[in-house]
Structure 1
Amino acid sequence: MKIKRKIEIAVISDVHLGTYGCHAKHLLSYLNSITPKKLILNGDIIDVWQFSKRYFPKSHLKVIKKIIDMAANGVEIIYITGNHDEVLRKFSDTNIGNLSIVDKLVLELDGKKAWFFHGDVFDTSIQNAKWLAKLGGYGYDLLILLNRCINWCLERMGKEKRSLSKKVKDGVKGAVKYINDYETVISDLAIENDYDYVVCGHIHQPKMVYKENKYGKTMYLNSGDWVENFTALEYQFKRWKIYNFNKDKLAPFYVDEDVKAMEMKDLIAAITIVDQHQKKSS
């Protein structure tokens, strides 16, 4: 019998379903390894910016079905909208059974306040030139696809995998400064509003660190992504931790057998049936 880890809250973001960079099988393995009371989807789960009818694999549908099944089984699912799935912002404050769609969220966790949001509202490149940000998104997806091909060759040669996008980010001073500025702005605002935790995504950089200024301190948390880092945030026993799929492989197991055998048409039908059932129950 497969044992699942019980946790209070799991936070995932930047999955980018519908793109070549998304590692849906890794995420499905992770979701199958946990039983959270709350699952917070902190933006960019489905990539509407780069959505194409030609590419939405079976494994990506399985992730959607898994999330809907979790909601049907009593897990509270909170979908916080991001920039790549901003089309959902017109449905903010909608509730369908155990699934809710919001733009931001504040929770009290064991006497402390936690502020959740995706983080794109603090990205000046998106606010000032959305078309440029979208173009950058396509370029990033192409880089990830190229990276997969290179890593496939490296594996066959018995060499270690490499991350091209991480190399680019680490090597460009402007990118490093952007990330530091992003973290500082968000943390300063959290301190100003007396939040003990501020939880975001968007920049694909998993992190958990205390940020302090002359007015106080807060814990800055970023859930990372499921394109390069394969990370999530977990809250249990009054503590946060970063779950890393590559390093914490003892916990997850692979896809449920009933889902594994399903055809594409059956997956679509299952998603539709559960969705209709939840609408009726709400």
Structure 2
Amino acid sequence: MKKRKVELVVISDLHLGTYGCHANEILEYLNSIKPKTLILNGDIIDIWQFRKSYFPPAHQKVLKKIIGLSAKGTRVYYLTGNHDELLRKFTDVHLGNFSLLNKLTLTLDGKKAWLFHGDVFDASITHAKWLAKLGGWGYDIMILLNRMINWGLQKMGKEPYSLSKKIKASVKSAVKFISNFETLCAEIAIENGYDYVVCGHIHEPKIESITTKKGTTLYLNSGDWIENLTALEYHNKRWKIYHHKTDYPSQMTWEEEVNFDYENQLIEQFMELIRN
């Protein structure tokens, strides 16, 4: 199968190391594309909920695949999020085609893009981290429960159901938080002259033009790989949201694995850093 060539891909909120992560689907997607630039926009490894007893082979393969893409010429930027904030003390590290940063600005066909995870605008993260961590554990449990419910619904021939989306849509404070988050990101981007502002964090994939009295910007959110299984792609001067559940060809069952010794060593060093 020929891989799709894409100029720029943004993925976020993989939450590797948690039960809710769809590592096999992430591998399917990464194996199906050949990006010039890959941006990992935070919460890639969930260090908050990291368990020494749970980091299965599929999760390790995702890391190996990312390193493999970098080794083969893809420019990879890892932008830290709140769940992998431990890595922020190593920011501004550059190793070949791989860079570890907190935020990133790019020029895309003459337009300025501002990319960051987004947790800096989340009061629950900045002022009550213990509460946010507790919520992360609860979210992981809810995702597991949701998978059990959907397994039963599938057996009965019914459509899957998303508990978290239902809760987000029905709880007014959650709806308000998402709206405020998007508006704040857009307002700051406009004030600083950015044509695009690209975030993750809230697990809500979106592309929306937002206008204020000071100007207009395109707000983009890459979503997540817990529920939505989405990515942002930029190609031929256009943005789109990739939905793995509908956009990935079902006939593509092959998998390209990366087995270079030096990549295995890097993974071991990286995992040791997290464990300590």
Task: Give the TM-score band, short-chain normalised.
Answer: over 0.9
Instruction: Name the residue aligned to 1:125.
Output: 124
Residue by residue over 1:188-235, the C-alpha shift from the partner in whole angstroms, topping out at 9 and shown as x without a partner, is 000000100000000000000000001100000000000000000000
CA contact (8 A) 1:33 1:252 kept: no
Return the alpha-carbon distance in structure 2 between the equivalents of residues 257 and 150 of structure 1. 32
Over 3 Å counting, the alpha-carbon distance change for 1:50 and 1:217 in structure 2 is same
Q: Is the 8 A contact 2:60 2:267 kept in 1?
A: no
2:150 is aligned to 151
Which SS does the other structure have where 1:217 is aligned?
Answer: strand
1:52 is aligned to: 51
Q: Which runs of 4+ in 1 moved over 4 A?
A: 267-270
Quote the Cα distance in structure 2 between the aligned partners of 1:69 and 1:31. Answer: 11
Matches within 5 A, 1:30-69: 30-69=29-68
- Distance in 2 (CA, whole Å) between partners of 1:142 and 1:245 is 23
Query: Residue 32 of structure 1 aligns to a residue in which SS?
Result: helix
Letter in 1 for 2:168: K
**Deviations for 1:159-183, whole angstroms, at most 9, x for unmatched residues?**
1111111111111011000000000
Displacement of 1:270 after TM fit? 6.3
Shift of 1:272: 2.6
**1:204 is paired with a residue of what secondary structure?**
coil
CA distance in 1, matches of 2:250, 2:145: 30
Superposition RMSD on alpha carbons, in Å? 1.7
Gaps of 5+ in 1: 260-266, 277-282
In the TM superposition, what are the counterparts of 1:1-282 in structure 2 within 5 Å? Answer: 2-250=1-249, 253-256=252-255, 258=257, 271-273=263-265
Which secondary structure does the structure 1 equivalent of 2:245 belong to? coil
Give the Cα–Cα distance (whole angstroms) in 1 for the partners of residues 96 and 21 of structure 2: 27
Percent identity at matched positions?
62
Deviation for aligned residue 1:275: 6.3
1:24 is displaced (CA, Å) by 0.6
Contact map agreement 2:178 2:202 (CA 8 A) in 1:
yes
What is the rounded CA distance, in whole Å, between the counterparts of 2:257 and 2:199 in structure 1?
33
Q: CA contact under 8 A between 2:13 and 2:43: conserved in structure 1?
A: yes
Displacement of 1:65:
0.7
For the 8 Å contact 2:29–2:248, the answer to whether it is kept is: no
- 1:43-91 deviations in Å (ceiling 9; x for gaps): 0000000000111111111101100110111111100000000011011
Deviation at 1:16, TM superposition (A): 0.1
* Cα gap change, 1:129 to 1:252, in 2 (>3 Å): farther
Aligned to 2:271: none
Whole-angstrom CA distance in 1 between matches of 2:103 and 2:132: 22
CA–CA distance in 1 between the matches of 2:200 and 2:139?
16
Give the Cα separation in 1 of the matches to 2:250 and 2:197.
26
- Cα distance in structure 2, aligned partners of 1:145 and 1:208: 29
Instruction: Work out whether residues 12 and 231 of structure 1, in 8 Å CA contact, stay in contact via their aligned partners in 2.
Output: yes
CA shift at 1:250, angstroms?
2.6
Distance (Å, rounded) in 1 between the aligned partners of 2:174 and 2:11: 23
Contact 1:205 1:223 survives alignment (8 Å): yes
